[in-house]
Structure 1
């Protein structure tokens, strides 16, 4: 019975994330062999299409203003996706250690209350996963369907020689330059659409994978806090039991630091790109609103929502991790610490000192990613868009 419950908990906590990142070879619990490496190379190549083709299109200068915005957005998203695949492979041990720790936590859990806490954080991980991937996939679907809608709209009553072919990834001039046969138009559209979905997995899927294990660490810290609050000094082996809790605290700090060290460079690049893209896509939305282009409005709105969702999730979960680490001191204060032996009280002082500098997500080791950072980015972006809106109206 316990084994079945353990399998059910594990499946509930990690299965959706495995489905997203296994195809691109970064699933932490896989066997890291030549086949996983080939999946990563395949994912990088497909994601690279979303970077190389728009760059060539911009260089050849055959895109309009709307397509220029799409090219910049795809270049940024594709670069982030490639970077995350490579980075998650380079720092694979950090994720492997954390996910193996999570498996062990589910295997050894016996307390019903603690199991409920772990399930709650796994549920939050799913709540994050669903809208993040839905926004990303819907955006990809919009880009995949746009060529077919444009084909019927633009090429009505046009001779076969004058047909204008559009693609999910702006690449018309590039493919014409390489003499891609028009008979393979639908196949090329499907390949590019598939590349967009892989790009979404590499970008948003890796974010969901990372944030899910971060939430698990937050759940373990919350359980640790309950252990401090309910510590019973009337039982035997007081020193050994308290030392076990301290060792657990040290272990969780180590796991959290591994995650923070792994993501700091990615966060720096991601904050930079998202800040730029929010302004660019917001400007595109204002233009679409002015000319009443419903398709462009929907497309830019969904892309902006996906970017905002990524930024919000990192900010809120980074803030949540920081709060959980800091609240350990408060949990000790809620216990009967005044009755503890002197030796234990000395150890408590060191715990208090540790909580003064909690583990936080930082972009490049100098920008703390929390709710305050999110608010600053949003305020700057909206200020910029307000100026652009006034310029459009004049």
Structure 2
């Protein structure tokens, strides 16, 4: 009965992320074969099209300022999707090891209090990450509804060669340059919608996959802290039990470092891109307010919210991981360490030394991603935005 309950916990914690990432070949617990490679190539190709077509649109010079901003936003998000998918494909062992460890954690746990901690972190991962992906999908649907409504109202005659067609993302000139037939306009719109959904999955789906397992590691560190605090020196086999806790600490450090190394380069690019896009979209929002463009105000707010949410999640979870690692030392200090045997007390000193340099998510291995970094990015972005706002008012 208990075994079935743990299996239900595994399904609860991992099924949504499998649904997001299996279609693009990113699910760590899948069978790695030619089909998984083909799915990964499909995801990378769709994200690459979202880079190529908007770039051609800007190069051909047939877009206005609003469309140029849309092209830049889609291009940047797609670049992140390509980077994440490619890196996770080339270095899959970090995610595989962490997810296999998570499955083993659920299958071997017997303490109901520890299970509750794991379920709480799984719930947070499901709620936050699934919301992030679903909002991204909803945004993609909005982008396809506008040209379909325009077509349904008969505002554009798709049989006219001089007609200006609308597409889910700016690609009209690029498709005309490639001699794409206008007779399959609806099919083209639906194909672009599929491309946008897959491209969103390569970015936000991979974010959800990574952040979910990072939260699980945080939960395991939380459990370890409780075990250190409540360590009982009166029970038998004290040396074996304390050594088991030390080995568990080292194991969790290794898992966290694997995740930090995997995401380090991507986080550096992501922080740079989000900082730039916050300024650009904030500037667009300011202009829309000035000319009372309600549609553009709503669109800018939606995009700004998406980028701020993504930055907030990485910063908050990175801050949580670092604080949990640091508080291992505090947990030991709050235990009855003064009654430990001399041999164990020596090990306590080394653990305290280890917590002085805790594992954390870093951008490029030199910028720690936490709430302080988050506030610095916001302050810098809004400072540049204030300068731009003053320039247009002068």
- Note if 1:210 corresponds to 2:210: yes
> CA-to-partner distance for each residue in 1:299-338, whole Å, 9 max, x for gaps?
2221211111111011000000000001011111111100
- Give SS of 1:160's match: coil
Q: Contact (CA 8 Å) 2:284, 2:300: kept in 1 or not?
A: yes
- Give SS of 1:179's match: coil
- Note if 1:237 corresponds to 2:237: yes
Cα RMSD of the aligned pairs, angstroms, is: 1.7
Q: Bigger shift: 191-200 or 292-301?
A: 292-301
Pairing of 1:57-136 with structure 2 (within 5 A): 57-136=57-136
Deviation for aligned residue 1:287: 2.1
User: Corresponding residue for 1:261?
Assistant: 261
- Give SS of 1:357's match: coil
Mapped partners of 2:130, 2:33: distance in 1: 30
- Note if 1:393 corresponds to 2:393: yes
Deviation for aligned residue 1:296: 2.2
Mapped partners of 1:386, 1:256: distance in 2: 38
> CA-to-partner distance for each residue in 1:234-264, whole Å, 9 max, x for gaps?
1111111110110000000000000001000
User: Corresponding residue for 1:252?
Assistant: 252
Residues 36, 157 of structure 1: alpha-carbon distance in 2 compared, 3 angstrom cutoff: closer
> CA-to-partner distance for each residue in 1:197-238, whole Å, 9 max, x for gaps?
111111011011101000101100111011111111111111
Pairing of 1:303-322 with structure 2 (within 5 A): 303-322=303-322
Mapped partners of 1:136, 1:66: distance in 2: 20
- Note if 1:287 corresponds to 2:279: no
Deviation for aligned residue 1:156: 6.5
Mapped partners of 1:153, 1:367: distance in 2: 51
Mapped partners of 1:41, 1:157: distance in 2: 36
Q: Contact (CA 8 Å) 1:282, 1:385: kept in 2 or not?
A: yes
- Note if 1:26 corresponds to 2:26: yes
Residues 138, 390 of structure 1: alpha-carbon distance in 2 compared, 3 angstrom cutoff: farther
Structure 1 stretches of 4+ moved >4 Å: 149-154, 156-159
User: Corresponding residue for 2:39?
Assistant: 39
TM-score by length of 2: 0.96
Mapped partners of 1:49, 1:159: distance in 2: 26
User: Corresponding residue for 1:364?
Assistant: 364
Deviation for aligned residue 1:275: 0.6
Q: Contact (CA 8 Å) 1:142, 1:299: kept in 2 or not?
A: no
Mapped partners of 1:4, 1:89: distance in 2: 32
Mapped partners of 1:158, 1:93: distance in 2: 49
Deviation for aligned residue 1:3: 2.2
Deviation for aligned residue 1:59: 1.0
Mapped partners of 2:144, 2:377: distance in 1: 30
User: Corresponding residue for 2:3?
Assistant: 3
Residues 60, 156 of structure 1: alpha-carbon distance in 2 compared, 3 angstrom cutoff: closer
User: Corresponding residue for 1:345?
Assistant: 345
Q: Contact (CA 8 Å) 2:158, 2:182: kept in 1 or not?
A: no
- Note if 1:187 corresponds to 2:202: no
Q: Contact (CA 8 Å) 1:155, 1:163: kept in 2 or not?
A: no
Structure 2: runs of 5+ lacking an equivalent: none
Structure 1: runs of 5+ lacking an equivalent: none
- Note if 1:50 corresponds to 2:50: yes
User: Corresponding residue for 1:301?
Assistant: 301
Residues 208, 76 of structure 1: alpha-carbon distance in 2 compared, 3 angstrom cutoff: same
User: Corresponding residue for 1:323?
Assistant: 323
Mapped partners of 1:20, 1:159: distance in 2: 38
Residues 140, 35 of structure 1: alpha-carbon distance in 2 compared, 3 angstrom cutoff: same
Q: Bigger shift: 173-182 or 9-18?
A: 173-182
Deviation for aligned residue 1:290: 2.4
